[in-house]
Amino acid sequence: MKFHHHQVFLLVAIVDVVEGLAWRLRGISYSGGGRPEKGTAAAAAAAAVGVPAPWPLPKWVWSKAWRGHRRALPWLHRWDAAAPENTCVNLQVLWLKALAGDDIAYEMLPRQSRFVVSRPLRWLYPRLHHQNTLMRSRYLDAAVSRELEPNATLVTLGAGFCTRSLRFHAVRRIELDLPAVVAQKAKILEDRGFETTFSLVPANLSAPEGRETLRDALPRSTRVVFVLEALLVYLGDHSAHALLEAALDAARAAGATSISLCFADRLPDVPGVDESAVRATLAKAGWHDLVDYLPKPGLARHMGLARFRDPTNPT
């Protein structure tokens, strides 16, 4: 059965918009539904980064929306020459970022179907997963902007289909991710007509050899800024600790005396959102200076900025 683009729109509209209306008919609205403590935490985090909060709806609603989006992906990419896969939900997150207003993410989507998240259609969608993604993206963009200097190197660990390297042009940029993900991203960028002015490095960062690749990939630089966005959630605690240590070691080996870690992730050995536990985990890996910390609901619940300053070279 062949689907045309208007039929794809109907599919997604039925899954997201009509179901959203059904939730309201059941008496579940923005002001009610989900767990109060999570709604309060989301509202606080959203206010801190300057975006509207996600709707505090029951967990089953969030799950239903996620599954509906995942089921729609094969049709949304039915005529996509790049034919990307949803490895570690990278493809879903790309759609969510486009839905949240990331114009570069929108341009990375297939031309035949991306209109389903275009303006003004995107305003019809309930504020769910894409709003949660927007919170962490907005936080990280602000943290990266705060830390970058003209001579800095921006390193995104587990970059997926992130657009940050396409937006921060003034510095050297390096992205590392699984070989399959790097190949898919390169194909998407080529197919959509993007000029790639940054380095895409294939590396399995959960393995020792991948962490060695990180060390080899860093050029000489006195200033390094790392970004971690929802990568550690896929790693075990041991591998996550090892990566936090390896990033710092790699930057120091590259000659960096000023090193920053901008993160929106789930840190190892921190089951909740307690700041003292976050500090302890980062300090264990050598990141002793936690400059900012903002928890939020979701898997990538720890958002923050940590720094390392070489005590032998305070400049």
CB count in 10 Å sphere of residue 27 = 8
Residues 41, 208: Cα–Cα separation, whole Å? 36
pLDDT reported for residue 309: 75
Encoded amino acid at 253, one letter: A
- What pLDDT, on the 0 to 100 scale, is given for residue 23? 36
User: The whole model's pTM is what?
Assistant: 0.88
Single-letter residue type at 244: L
pLDDT score recorded for residue 313: 63
Q: What is the pLDDT of residue 41?
A: 87
pLDDT in tens, the chain (315 residues): 343 444 444 444 444 443 443 333 333 333 333 444 567 889 999 999 999 999 999 999 999 999 999 999 999 999 999 999 999 999 999 999 999 999 999 999 999 999 999 999 999 999 999 999 999 999 999 999 999 998 999 999 999 999 999 999 989 999 999 999 999 999 999 999 999 999 999 999 999 999 999 999 999 999 999 999 999 999 999 999 999 999 999 999 999 999 999 999 999 999 999 999 999 999 999 999 999 999 999 999 999 999 997 666 655
- Residue-wise pLDDT for 171-230, tens only, equals 999 999 999 999 999 999 999 999 999 999 999 999 999 999 999 999 999 999 999 999
> With the CA atoms of 296, 106, 158 and 132 taken in that order, what torsion angle do they form, in degrees rounded to the nearest 10?
10
What domains lie within the chain, and their CATH numbers? 5-130 (no CATH), 132-309 (3.40.50.150)
Instruction: Give the DSSP H or E segment for 303.
Output: strand 302-309
Could you tell me where the DSSP H helices lie in 26-152? 36-49, 59-76, 90-99, 103-108, 129-147
Would you state the pLDDT for residue 40?
Answer: 85
Reading the block at residue 227, the tokens are 């970004």
